[in-house]
Amino acid sequence: MSNGIFYKTDDEVELIRQNCLLVCKTLALVGGLMQPGASGTKIDAKAEQLIRDHGAVPGFKGYRGFPATLCVSVNEQVVHGIPSKQEFKDGDIVSVDCGVLMNGYYGDAAYTFAIGDVREEIMQLLKVTKASLYKGIQQATVGKKVGDISSAIQYFTERVHPYSVVRELVGHGLGRNLHEAPEVPNFGKRGQGPRMRDGLVIAIEPMINLGKKEVITDKDEWTVFAEDRLPSAHFEHTVVVRKQKADILSNHSSIEEAIRKNPNLKEVGEIAVETA
């Protein structure tokens, strides 16, 4: 441990990887269920069952009083949406964040799904947000600083593209606790923040608004909205810092395969992310 940061052994990393892959398996299940007429409560129940069937427990349910397995955030909801009976509609985007706890360690990942005929300007927001995640991951190597991740995400989303980084919500360390040091903001300056060492496990999770950066929290004390009520996107990977390049412990490929097989969903697609 250094500066309150817990560095993980290889064995611990593999336990976290196992959990992150279960998270992604759960999100792939969600991807198969997403359609107009489905609801957050329905997919949440299925997700909890899958997690428990694999010997794990939902990482979010009961965490600081959160009532559900998934955070389900629709359109202008940024994060921490509580699953409800409100039915999804054609044209909605739905960000789903999931965590699991097994063998004493957490896993964490998130993906934003596009249901039906989502407007092209919103699809572009999703593509850029997803690409910014990998821009950040490219910086997660030994010797660099957390601010290098933050700066890469902010530059790509706010300078190269015309979007806004949410300031109030950040990525984080992950391990025996769902939220550990260090915080990993999606905005900041290169060369600032803790220097990263081998074995640092962090969740990198850009939360990017189509409009302005300001957010408000709903009266439920959980759901965070874009204040201007324009759409917001959220993608997340858990990674471990290594010397040459970060090792991504979660895997979105199973989620994207489920999306390709679901005629009710639109693929997010790719934007080329050059190697830094």
Assign residue 225 the CATH number of its domain: 3.90.230.10
Rounded to an integer, what distance in angstroms lies between the CA atom of residue 145 and that of residue 185? 12
pLDDT, tens only, 41-95: 999 999 999 999 999 999 999 999 999 999 999 999 999 999 999 999 999 999 9
Domain assignment present for residue 47? The answer is yes
Q: What is the predicted pLDDT for the residue at 270?
A: 83
Domain assignment present for residue 130? The answer is yes
Q: What does the DSSP assignment read for 172-206?
A: EE-SSSSSEEEEE-SS--TT-SPBP-TT-EEEE--
Rounded to an integer, what distance in angstroms lies between the CA atom of residue 151 and that of residue 188? 5
Listed range (112-116, 152-156, 269-273) with the worst mean pLDDT: 269-273
Domain assignment present for residue 120? The answer is yes
pLDDT-based confidence at residue 274 (cuts at 50, 70, 90) = low
pLDDT, tens only, 75-84: 999 999 999 9
Average pLDDT over residues 233-250: 98
Domain assignment present for residue 37? The answer is yes
pLDDT higher than 90, residue 275: no
Domain assignment present for residue 274? The answer is no
Rounded to an integer, what distance in angstroms lies between the CA atom of residue 104 and that of residue 267? 34
Cis peptide before 185 (omega within 30 of 0): no
Domain assignment present for residue 88? The answer is yes
Q: What is the predicted pLDDT for the residue at 276?
A: 42
Give just the sign of the alpha carbon dihedral 208, 212, 213, 217.
negative
Burial class (CB in 10 A: 0-12, 13-18, 19+), 43: buried
Number of domains in the chain: 1
Average pLDDT over residues 116-140: 98
Domain assignment present for residue 182? The answer is yes
pTM value is: 0.97
Domain assignment present for residue 110? The answer is yes
Domain residues for the domain of 238 are 10-266
What per-residue string of b and e applies to 162-178 under the rule 16 or more CB within 10 Å gives b?
Answer: ebbbbeebbbbbbbeeb
